[in-house]
Structure 1
């Protein structure tokens, strides 16, 4: 079944419970305006214009982490009213007093243990659901999690998706495991493993590419020590998967503060790796030119230093120049596009999702999407 969208409902004077992902970086105690917040404004503006009564459920961080905070600052960033409560009298009174076109943000939903059971049979759903006409999920990025604010409410309320989720799904439907060239980098090998299980049309780079190279039997020397944890955790899993996928042909190391490119046969080395080398860049650019659709997630090197931005820049520029439909995802990758001043309009879609994106392109079913299809 197709997932209903905002266009499926008459929203005027309707009470809408909206799940957003406004989780953001906290710097010196201040919540930062994120790209996700900016994107969600499209959905919020439409709900306001159509005179819906909108109440937002969202989270910030995880319990026990430093960034687990109240959403009071977030409310100002998304131009919403705020109540420091979720299911108590202050929240219920604030919800009931809202007028059409107004928006209220409830406090961090992860303050409640009920958020983590993912069902409709708890106090969170039983308290809030009777106050609403429609549930809308606009947070594709958390839809891989079976948590109550994602999977509980759609079981008891008419439901659909917001404009951010709608555009994300439309774009990702053009990416399939059979025909797409996957460029997988970054520093989180775990996120890429499911793709390797389902596709061999893969170019690797970043920390992930290094770990895959080690899984093929190469020894980098100093870099192996740096990657000790990743090697122990992922090499046993990757060994049967790396045959047939492309790993880098050369790498850039830092010698006396300067970039030096080394071919694979020049390892082991006493220097740590910071980027892919020029031969790899040349080969990957050639592959990108031949692709009909491209998915990239994760940078190729240490982009904090200009001299080690070369690999990421070469790949992103090739994708931007390609006629292929492209999806680019991951926080560091989207940050690199801005830092390298590459026109983001040259990419088919820039995804704001992380783990949900990985699971979707690997062919997994996301609990938050499946429940919306009911």
Structure 2
């Protein structure tokens, strides 16, 4: 796979697929590590004389965070000059691309506003038809979407010389360092459907977050209110439970939890379940059990927090587990499930971990041994 080091970008129009997808709070886009990390390739391409056309997405159709990239452009502009174009394939976009000068950059509107982004094999795909003739090179700097069979990920490389950007290159180099077969998996967060992909690896798993709740349900334990909540919250609930049941021997589950009672943290043992309250964190005994396993591990992959870390009362599990992982001598990889934000809120130095990935679904699939369409598309070059 080629990188930025392998191509000449001077006076070339470059389609740069970046990942700017960020949290949206009450309609306001929050500056993220993804935006910060994407700036490196934009800046380098500009410095090397390219005419940079950044394409990216925010959210997905139908979601609350599906919005314009106008705010993202403002964030990028703070670090390196870039112009936002409120268009993707129309006259505004075409004119803006054609007028680009050496060392300039523009950001097109949310690529997912265009339906053909989801139809890479469509013969009359308007993104291919309108953008490819204007470009010389395609650069993918978004590892986090490499599992998507989308036009901006797999379509453009079929028509343009292509390579990996700096962030994508860095992610792949980090992933090459982890001994996946002999790693301890610490799996939490609020997307248990991602976690089950890793169970086919047969690694030992310390379960946290929603995932540990589902594992306990699979063991036949009634969680009470938390179980009712999960049945409404988790898609394919019954299917996930069936899969976990088949793999339950490799999953270690909590022996206690923290709930809220009269505004304070209260810990309850498994024997005290079910309770009519949500399970907001793992308990002290579980924390110590997990830390003991973490200390013995040669390499670790951690995904997601252990509980409701945004609430200080229920941050203990997330903090203690993250801190223990940060202390191991082997390779520690974090990714997905808001792990990056959890590290920030727990005030643990990022340098204490071997690598913190900004990817979620793509990272999980890569570690599970699945082929990613976005990487496969780049390999032919």
TM-score by length of 1: 0.95
- Distance verdict in 2 for CA 1:293–1:159, change over 3 Å: same
Preserved CA contact (<8 Å) 1:118 1:152: yes
The reply on whether 1:188 has 2:186 as its aligned counterpart is no
Per the alignment, residue 262 of structure 1 pairs with 268
- 1:274 pairs, out of 269, 280, 294, with 280
Which deviates the most, 253-262 or 177-186?
Answer: 253-262
Cα shift readout 1:55-75 (whole Å, capped 9, x = no counterpart): 011112222333322222222
Structure 2, unmatched stretches of 5+, are: none
- Distance verdict in 2 for CA 1:192–1:300, change over 3 Å: same
Per the alignment, residue 12 of structure 2 pairs with 14
Preserved CA contact (<8 Å) 2:187 2:211: yes
Q: Distance in 1 between matches of 2:62 and 2:379?
A: 34
Preserved CA contact (<8 Å) 1:21 1:141: yes
Shift of 1:107: 1.3
Shift of 1:176: 4.1
Cα shift readout 1:144-193 (whole Å, capped 9, x = no counterpart): 11000110000111101111111111111223431111100012110101
Which deviates the most, 137-146 or 109-118?
Answer: 109-118
Shift of 1:21: 1.1
Q: Distance in 2 between matches of 1:331 and 1:271?
A: 23
Cα shift readout 1:127-159 (whole Å, capped 9, x = no counterpart): 211222210000111111100011000011110
- 2:72 pairs, out of 71, 74, 79, with 74
Per the alignment, residue 84 of structure 1 pairs with 86
Shift of 1:199: 2.2
Per the alignment, residue 340 of structure 2 pairs with 334
- TM alignment of 1:113-262, pairs within 5 A: 113-119=115-121, 121=123, 122-229=125-232, 230=234, 231-262=237-268
Which deviates the most, 232-241 or 207-216?
Answer: 232-241
Which deviates the most, 261-270 or 18-27?
Answer: 261-270
Shift of 1:17: 0.7
Q: Distance in 2 between matches of 1:66 and 1:263?
A: 37
Give 3-state SS (helix, strand or coil) of 1:12's partner: coil
Give 3-state SS (helix, strand or coil) of 2:253's partner: coil
Give 3-state SS (helix, strand or coil) of 2:249's partner: coil
Per the alignment, residue 108 of structure 1 pairs with 110
Shift of 1:266: 2.5
Per the alignment, residue 57 of structure 1 pairs with 55
Q: Distance in 2 between matches of 1:249 and 1:218?
A: 12
Q: Distance in 2 between matches of 1:341 and 1:66?
A: 29
Which deviates the most, 150-159 or 16-25?
Answer: 16-25
Q: Distance in 2 between matches of 1:226 and 1:86?
A: 40
Q: Distance in 1 between matches of 2:161 and 2:149?
A: 18
Cα shift readout 1:328-366 (whole Å, capped 9, x = no counterpart): 112522112111111111011111112111111111111
Shift of 1:93: 1.3
Q: Distance in 2 between matches of 1:26 and 1:200?
A: 35
Which deviates the most, 126-135 or 265-274?
Answer: 265-274
TM-score by length of 2: 0.93
Q: Distance in 1 between matches of 2:61 and 2:16?
A: 22
Per the alignment, residue 94 of structure 1 pairs with 96
The reply on whether 1:360 has 2:366 as its aligned counterpart is yes
Shift of 1:296: 0.4
Per the alignment, residue 355 of structure 2 pairs with 349
Per the alignment, residue 38 of structure 2 pairs with 40
Which deviates the most, 146-155 or 112-121?
Answer: 112-121
**Residues paired across the two proteins, number:** 372
**CA RMSD across the alignment:** 1.6
Q: Distance in 1 between matches of 2:266 and 2:197?
A: 33
Q: Distance in 2 between matches of 1:309 and 1:56?
A: 37
Which deviates the most, 45-54 or 58-67?
Answer: 58-67
